[in-house]
Amino acid sequence: MLCGDNFIRVFFVGDILGIIQILLKVMICEKLCCFRIDLFFWWVTFYNRLIINVRMCSLKIKSQKPTACYHGWRFSNLITKGKTQSHQKNEENYFIADMPLRHSKKQYNMSFTTGGLFYNESILVVGEYLSLNDWDATKKSVIRNNTIQSRTKSSILRRVREICLRLQLLSISQLTLIKYGSRSEQQYMLWLAICKRFAFIHEFAVEILREKFLRMDSLLTLEEYQGFFEVKARWHEKLDQLQKSTCERMRQVLFQILREAGIITDTNMIIPAMLTPELVKAILMDDPALLRVFPISDMDIQTWLK
């Protein structure tokens, strides 16, 4: 059974031989110049993603927690080797629930329409939590003192509840970056919290946003969002039953969040993420697969996983 370095070595040799064979075949025909370049980059991209998947699996194995590999690629011989049948079944259940599937059957939580990134409000709430170290006490304190400066009581309750539900998903090191980090670190961490809370946004970030970045297609169009939504609606009846005005509101809020998080510009151009070493470390300690919600290259992920 192939695993670890042997597994990587076999695919490495196969990729090299495949690339050489393709180049020798197409170099005899000048008309296939563009085709030759496309094939070469396809093989390079495939190899990079393969290495990333294997290393993510290795990290999860070390922590005795299986990982979800890129777009459903999973090498079961790396994960289930030496496991009992019952243990394998538990790992399979975790795998299905943990990874952002293209057609996940779980129900989507669409409450992100409550507001945008909540940048200023989140920093205030995190500061209160780091002082009290208790989320219930934090919510009561923020509501009682109207820390986030909302005009009505219903607005305070709604916003504080949503902000706390997002922030509760982050680790202490991640919350500390929101309180004391740079503005970009704060924005990226709040974006991460949103992706952890909302599977719909998580899948959009991985399947559309980052895929476009990897293809060097920087413009995020409304049509691409609509196509993504329609695909998801085929697998989720509640999405298909939403009012047109609600769907429009969802799209507006999502693009607002992307702009406020520094993921896209005002003209919907994707901005390459510049993750600091501290931020990368905080994410790797949580789950390396979460790096995929940012517009970063496979090469960067491969470097960080070493």
Asked whether the beta carbons of 291 and 301 are under 8 A apart, the reply is: yes
| Distance from C-alpha of 67 to C-alpha of 54, rounded to nearest angstrom | 10
Closest CA relative to residue 80, chosen from 99, 67, 97, 96:
67
How many of the other CB atoms lie within 10 Å of CB of 242?
Answer: 16
Q: Which residues pair with 270 in a beta bridge?
A: 264
Residue 125 has pLDDT above 60, yes or no: yes
| Distance from C-alpha of 282 to C-alpha of 230, rounded to nearest angstrom | 34
Closest CA relative to residue 63, chosen from 282, 291, 304, 287:
287
Q: Report the run of H or E that residue 162 belongs to, with start and end.
A: helix 153-167
Q: Give the tens place of pLDDT for each residue, 184-242.
A: 999 999 999 999 999 999 999 999 999 999 999 999 999 999 999 999 998 888 888 88
Residue 175 has pLDDT above 60, yes or no: yes
Residue 44 has pLDDT above 90, yes or no: no
Task: Fold for 111-304, please state it.
Answer: 1.10.3540
Q: Which residue has the tokens 């509640």?
A: 238
- DSSP assignment of 242-261, as one string? S-HHHHHHHHHHHHHHHHHT
Average pLDDT, the chain: 76
Token output for 4: 């670890």
Q: Distances from the Cα of 113 to the Cαs of 24, 126, 209, 246, in angstroms?
A: 54, 21, 19, 9
Asked whether the beta carbons of 176 and 130 are under 8 A apart, the reply is: yes
Q: Which residue has the tokens 């399979």?
A: 92
The residue type found at 39 is L
Q: pTM for the whole thing?
A: 0.70
Q: What confidence category does residue 55 fall into, taking pLDDT thresholds of 50, 70 and 90?
A: low
CA atoms within 13 A on the CB side of 62: 10
pLDDT for position 113? 87
Domain boundaries of the chain, sorted by first residue: 4-98, 111-304
- In terms of average pLDDT, the best of 5-19, 71-85, 277-291 is 277-291
| Distance from C-alpha of 213 to C-alpha of 14, rounded to nearest angstrom | 27
Read off the pLDDT of each residue in 100-116 and give the average, rounded to a whole number. 69
Residue 163 has pLDDT above 80, yes or no: yes
Enumerate long-range contacts of 85-91, CB under 8 Å, 24 or more apart. 91/66
For the chain, the straight-line distance linking the first and the last C-alpha, in angstroms and rounded, comes to 23
Q: Report the run of H or E that residue 64 belongs to, with start and end.
A: none
| Distance from C-alpha of 2 to C-alpha of 9, rounded to nearest angstrom | 10
Weakest-pLDDT range from 13-22, 155-164, 238-247, 275-284: 13-22
Q: What confidence category does residue 25 fall into, taking pLDDT thresholds of 50, 70 and 90?
A: low
Residue 96 has pLDDT above 50, yes or no: no
